[in-house]
Amino acid sequence: MGERRLCTAEVAGSTPVSSTSSVGFDYGRVDVIFSRILAATDGTEASLRGVEVAAQMVQRYDAEFVLLTAVSVPQHVVLAANMDQRNIESYVERLAQGSLSSAVALLRQKGVGAEVKAVVGPAAETILAEIEASKADLVVMGRRGRYEPKDLILGSVSYRVSRHVRVPILLVP
């Protein structure tokens, strides 16, 4: 992967400083090194904006990229449809392809490679588990995606992830 590059964020109202200095501390700049970025998508426009921002960061900072979608299969759907294992797998595959297709097309257009994952489980919990498993050091998500009825009580997926994640998270409006 080569040398790591710095992701520099200017603090509001500060004077920009050179990004080549990495020794010492300047209160006008925060240097963070991201080597593995995870973007979660559910196929919505909001999540696609998050994927686009993540792809730009991957290109700019030469980071590894993990593109993730979480596919939730409610138990009542399985029971009501009387689905066998093969039908469940086919259903999950269709949902995953639907969630990932726009994001993968965007990455191809930008020439960005990614490790693409589709994982079955409740969205927030699955994303949090994959963040840990993939050793991502930055998470990028769109702020408004699909809503489930439980979101009215628990909050959106991005909100629940942001409350429990142990690495920096960038929520893209």
pLDDT tens, position by position, 94-132 = 888 988 999 999 999 999 999 999 998 889 999 999 999
How big is the chain, counted in residues?
173
Quote the CA–CA distance of 92 and 126 in Å, as a whole number.
Answer: 14
| pLDDT for the residue 17 | 36
Q: What is the mean pLDDT of the chain?
A: 79
Higher pLDDT, 144 or 26: 144
Structural domains of the chain ordered from first start: 1-33 (no CATH), 35-172 (3.40.50.620)
The residue-averaged pLDDT of 32-40 equals: 91
Higher pLDDT, 75 or 167: 167
Task: Please give the model's pTM, rounded to 2 decimal places.
Answer: 0.74
| pLDDT for the residue 171 | 94
Whole-number Cα distances in Å, 116 to 21, 88, 100, 130 = 35, 20, 8, 12
The residue-averaged pLDDT of 151-163 equals: 75
The residue-averaged pLDDT of 60-73 equals: 92
CB-count burial class (<10 Å; 0-12, 13-18, 19+) for 20: exposed
Which single residue is written with the structure tokens 């196929």?
43
Least confident of 25-34, 57-66, 161-170: 25-34
| pLDDT for the residue 156 | 85
List of residues 6+ apart from 17 with CB closer than 8 A: 26, 28, 29
Q: Would you place residue 144 in the very low, low, confident or very high pLDDT band (cuts 50, 70, 90)?
A: confident
CB atoms within 10 A of CB 86: 8
